Amino acid sequence: MNPLNHVAIIMDGNGRWGLKHKNSRNAGHKAGLLTVEKIIEETIKNKIRFLTLFAFSTENWKRPKKEINYLFNLLENFLLKKIKELNNKNIKLKIIGFKKFSKKLNHLLNISEKKTSRNTKLQINLALNYGSRFELLHAIKGLSKKKEKINIQNIEKNLLTKNIPDPDLLIRTGNTRRLSNFLLWQLAYSEIYFDKKLWPDFNQKDYSKIIKKFKNTKRNYGNI
């Protein structure tokens, strides 16, 4: 059985779910947040140490302002309401992405990270304004500026995921089979599962099934 240390999730399908059920994409984002809470619980139950959630990509700025504002409001309210609870559950929150938000949100993200920084049960990496190409470019530019050797180890040290092991398992919901600029370097040897369900419909049972399949997959890493 494979050990499972790190799960990464592309939480896709909120907009379609919202349109279908409530005639509003934003209603789908709201419903998707409930799935996030359920999946965090299940991750803890499975004793998984790292959970990385793709919440907003560097390309998602192309969306209408109304949707972007709604998403960041949702995040702000979630943190204000839940950070204490996350902290009590011994969960560490880390933002991976470039923190270029409103002053208020940047501050809230920073204090949420700081407050939970010593927690040890589960580390949640929230990918916010995250894009893999930009991350790699930033890392390589940083190395060249510092006149450090460009090698695998040094690149990894300069990624936003520094000190985080690579995901063992990537799940994308929403019936779409692509990576959308997510963790391109880090997913080199991850097992990938695409689920047809839209994120708000994805549940603990679906998650457990994937985990079970993952645990019984032979991982070769180029070997036989």
As annotated, the active-site residues are 12, 60
12: contact with Mg ion by CB under 5 A: yes
Stretch that binds ligand IPE, among 38-46, 54-62, 104-112, 158-166 (CB under 6 A): 54-62
Alpha-helix runs per DSSP H in 50-179: 65-88, 103-115, 132-145, 152-157
Strands across the sheet containing 50-57: 91-96, 122-130, 50-57, 6-10, 169-172, 191-194
Nearer to Mg ion, 12 or 135 (CB): 12
Distance CA 190, CA 34 (A): 26
180: contact with ligand IPE by CB under 6 A: yes
Q: Which residue is nearest to ligand IPE (CB)?
A: 15
8: contact with ligand IPE by CB under 6 A: no
Q: Which of 35, 43, 52, 57 binds ligand IPE (CB under 6 A)?
A: 57
DSSP code for 121: S
131: contact with ligand IPE by CB under 6 A: no
60: contact with ligand IPE by CB under 6 A: yes
Contacts of 171 (CB under 8 A, 6+ apart): 7, 8, 9, 10, 193, 194, 195, 207, 210
- Which secondary structure element, helix H or strand E, spans residue 20, and what is its range? helix 14-22
Q: Enumerate residues 137-176 that contact ligand IPE by CB under 6 A.
A: 174, 176
200: contact with ligand IPE by CB under 6 A: no
The residues binding Mg ion (CB under 5 A) are: 12
The residues binding ligand IPE (CB under 6 A) are: 10-16, 54-57, 60, 71, 174, 176, 178, 180
